[in-house]
Amino acid sequence: MSKLRVPVSDQDHKTGNTKAKIVMVEYGDYQCPHCGYAHPLIKRLLKQFGQEILFIFRNFPLQEMHPQAMISAQSAEAADKQQKFWEMHDTIYENQDILSVNSLLDFAKQIDLDLEKFSKDWKTKGVITKIESDFDGGIRSGVNGTPTFFINGNRLETYDASYESLAHAIKVLQ
């Protein structure tokens, strides 16, 4: 069983209860159809388990297979500079079939980002370094595809693209 090699830190994007005893980390690619399918499952999981879970998202853009994955990750990270990571994250996944530079700029406009700042931020060394750091941490943790989930530091081997497999992994830890 693979272990999460990079501990959860303040650098991570988190939603849920920061004091929860169940911590789920996803390594995801914004253009990956499997990640797109998992996105509403994660939202449902967070709704069902509420305060019992902390969810972390880390970037793992598979650029050779998904040419818009990196620019999408850059957009989410740039949105984070304006405290709107999760809004951009959700918007990208909910519009995964139309990803392009223009659509990402439209998404930024839709979520009321300062477009001038956003246009500068998504190209900065800090944004690129954050994505590369997430990716490297995934490699060190044995990630070789997306989505890959870790629960309390252990890779979730039983995820079969069903809500039930995610919920079961949480329930056994309650």
Using one digit for the tens of pLDDT, what is the confidence trace for 127-142? 999 999 999 999 999 9
The pLDDT assigned to 105 comes to 98
- Say whether pLDDT at 1 is over 90: no
Return the closest-CA partner of residue 135 out of 54, 74, 53, 46.
74
Packing angle of the helix pair 69-80, 125-140 (nearest 10 deg): 120
Instruction: Show the tokens assigned to 138.
Output: 């995934």
Where do the domains of the chain lie, and which CATH numbers do they carry? 13-171 (3.40.30.10)
Using one digit for the tens of pLDDT, what is the confidence trace for 42-64? 999 999 999 999 999 999 999 99
54 near 20, Cβ under 8 Å? Answer: yes
Average pLDDT over residues 2-23: 96
The pLDDT assigned to 174 comes to 81
pTM for the full predicted model: 0.97
26 near 56, Cβ under 8 Å? Answer: yes
Using one digit for the tens of pLDDT, what is the confidence trace for 71-101? 999 999 999 999 999 999 999 999 999 999 9
* Beta-strand pair 148-151/22-28: antiparallel
The pLDDT assigned to 77 comes to 98
139 near 99, Cβ under 8 Å? Answer: no
- Say whether pLDDT at 102 is over 80: yes
Residue 107 and residue 96: Cα distance in Å, rounded?
11
Q: Cα 129 to chain center, whole Å?
A: 16
